[in-house]
Amino acid sequence: MAHSAVDVIRTKRDGRPLTADQIDWVIESYTRGEVAEEQMSALAMAILLRGMDATETARWTAAMVSSGRTLDLGGLRRPTVDKHSTGGVGDKITLALTPLVAACGAAVPQLSGRGLGHTGGTLDKLESVPGWRASLSPDEIRSRLDSVGAVVCAATEGLAPADRKLYALRDVTATVESVPLIAGSIMSKKLAEGTQSLVLDVKCGSGAFMTDRTRGRELAEALVSIGIANGVNTSALLTAMSAPLGRAVGNALEVAEAVEVLRGGGPADVVELTLALAGEMLEHAGLPAADPAEVLASGRAYAQWERMIAAQGGDPDAPLPRAAHTHTVAAPESGTLATLDAYAVGVAACRLGAGRTRKEDDVQHAAGVLCMAKPGEHVRWGQPLLELHTDSPDAVPAALEVLEGAFEITDAEMTRESLVLDRVVGSEMTGSSR
């Protein structure tokens, strides 16, 4: 059956579901350049306004996967399982989680990205380790998974090229917020990895892309539905991102904190989420008897980290970069720190040099923010609340500006709540999403 871009746009504009043939045709034709950018822009807007049901979204994602090549991870001696986070402030979980799950017996193909805006990127963080390299060929990925059990690297060229084109288009056509398009973008890259199982960390709160818990669950359900429909064992944890995760925000600072966790210490919230995700991943991998808490305490996860870093050219014993300049933000009164806005801290870290506002920008590996106090902790007048790190002292005023009003101190007692807000597993999720 012959198709045309106008007919596909009209179908969705009028609120009707796209057929599998329409989806396959439009993604393939767009990837080849036969569907014009303005036509795909119109279709993306129609999807934003009219939504797509679970069947459409799963087929859309599969078509984007089919637009390029996929990694072949068959024949590995270990079961494969991956984790994806939707991004947050101080989210260094991948750094500790990947070697931990590998030390428990799984193979973890963690294809990661770079930071843009107020959330950091895993590759930027790891590149603060001297010698470490992000780019690996498909053969190198397989080899390291087979020999080491874990790899954190950039996505290889040719994986889901349709997503790369569509992502750039959505960014300039005000269609980024569409849940089906967000879910398809995330899952097309994850499915192209070839992993057998996937656990998603969907964050909601001021420092997350999804600030609202209802929208966060909607995204989690869409992601899980896509994974299951495409034959990947998938679940999601909905986790809080209103305050920074851990105490460190910034590339080398976060690596140092992840190493603390791998050595049996580190902030309680980072350890809590690392173990929760590890348990979920090991269940999917068919390794429920493994005890990630015991492996973390034993030092085996840290030894796995050393092997993983060395296998990609890094020196795990080399000193991490240190900032040339620091500035302290002191508590203006005594009491309990009630709130610490994740978004403001993330933007401050970015302004100090830890992040980028354009994809071509460089990052300062030593820049960032240390949270010297966390919500629920008692503070005294004059006590350091935040420590700003940068190689560019002129950037400090801009960081301080965004931190105005970013925290609240109260007389009330507070207790720390669990980071894990909800768990999403496969079910009949067939409703339409926008």
Q: Identify whether 189 is a catalytic site residue.
A: yes
389 is catalytic: no
Compute the Cα dihedral for 111, 116, 121, 124 and give only its sign: positive
84 catalytic? Reply is yes
Question: Which listed residue (29, 185, 188, 433) is catalytic?
Answer: 185
Non-local CB neighbours of 329 within 8 Å, separated by 6+ positions = 384, 385, 386, 387, 388, 400, 403
Cβ pair 178, 60 in contact under 8 A = no
Distance of CA 421 to the CA centre of its chain: 17
Catalytic residue (one of 12, 78, 84, 247): 84
Spot the catalytic one: 50, 59, 125, 170. Answer: 170
170 assigned to active site: yes
Query: Does the annotation count 203 as an active-site position?
Result: no
**Residue type for position 420:** V
User: Of the residues 118, 125, 189, 351, which is catalytic?
Assistant: 189
Quote the CA–CA distance of 337 and 305 in Å, as a whole number: 34
Name the catalytic one among 82, 91, 124, 163: 163
Q: Tell me the catalytic residues.
A: 84, 163, 170, 185, 189
